[in-house]
Every structure is written in structure tokens, then in C-alpha cells.
Amino acid sequence: MIQLKTMLNCIDNSGAALVECAMVVGQKRHASIGDRIVVVVQEQTKAHAAGMASGGPKVKRGDIRHAVVVRTRYRVQRRDGSSIRFEDNACVLINKAGDPVGSRINGAVGSELRKKKWSKILSMAPMQV
């Protein structure tokens, strides 16, 4: 469950390393895997902060962006009876149209994204759990 002020890791190569949830989009109080949230960038990745990345960072500290939750520490119950839980909370930054800001995703994502129609994120991820 992701709610206001929750800190999440950003697992794409957009330039953000750590983000803070500012709002859950929709009529919900908590966000789960596949839900859209609004975040504020708290930390940049080391390469982007030092200016070593080619083309410069796509996002900077203090930027307000939309994101999709891809991993949560809170246990998620699946329809087949199994449940899944990750070690951290993680998200992927997206633009207003719903396309990912970064071009690569590092780490596993939950397969609940398939049900919520985030196929672009699933295709970029190295592993779906």
C-alpha cells in the first residue's frame, strides 16, 4: 500500500533515484501495483547528478511527475490463491500520456501490471514476478 509521503525507489533510467508520493490518482486512499500516483523527485542518481550521463537528466530534484507503482512491500493476494511481497516499494516514471520517461527498467516488476494494461512497462522490464 502506497499512500501520501511514502518513499519509493525509481527503477528506470530517467535520472531519479528516490521519489516521494504526493498523491494517489483516482478515488483511492492507497495505491497498489499498477496504480498511478503523483510523485516528487527527492534524489537523483549519482551519474545524472554529476553530469556524466549522456544527454543530461530527464528529471531533476524537486520535479513533480506521474508514476506507476511496480513493486510494494505490502502483500498482494492473487486470484490463484498465492500472494507476493517484494523487498521494497518501487515505481516507474511516466508522462501525462502514460508512456515511460526512461528507456530501460532495472529489476523485477509485478505481473499485476498486465491486468491494469501497462504493457509498455512489462515489455521493458527484465523480469515479471
CA distances (Å), 92 to each of 80, 81, 88, in order? 26, 27, 13
69-90 pLDDT, tens per residue? 999 999 999 999 999 999 999 9
pLDDT given for residue 58 in this prediction = 87
Q: What percent of the chain has pLDDT over 90?
A: 88
The residue ranges of every structural domain in the chain are: 7-128
When pLDDT is averaged across residues 48-63 and rounded to a whole number, the result is 78
Spatial distance between the Cα atoms of 60 and 109, rounded to a whole number of angstroms: 24
pLDDT given for residue 71 in this prediction = 97
pTM metric for this prediction: 0.92
6-34 pLDDT, tens per residue? 999 999 999 999 999 999 999 899 999 99
Residue 107 has pLDDT above 90, yes or no: yes
Spatial distance between the Cα atoms of 11 and 14, rounded to a whole number of angstroms: 9
What CATH architecture is 7-128?
Answer: Beta Barrel (2.40)
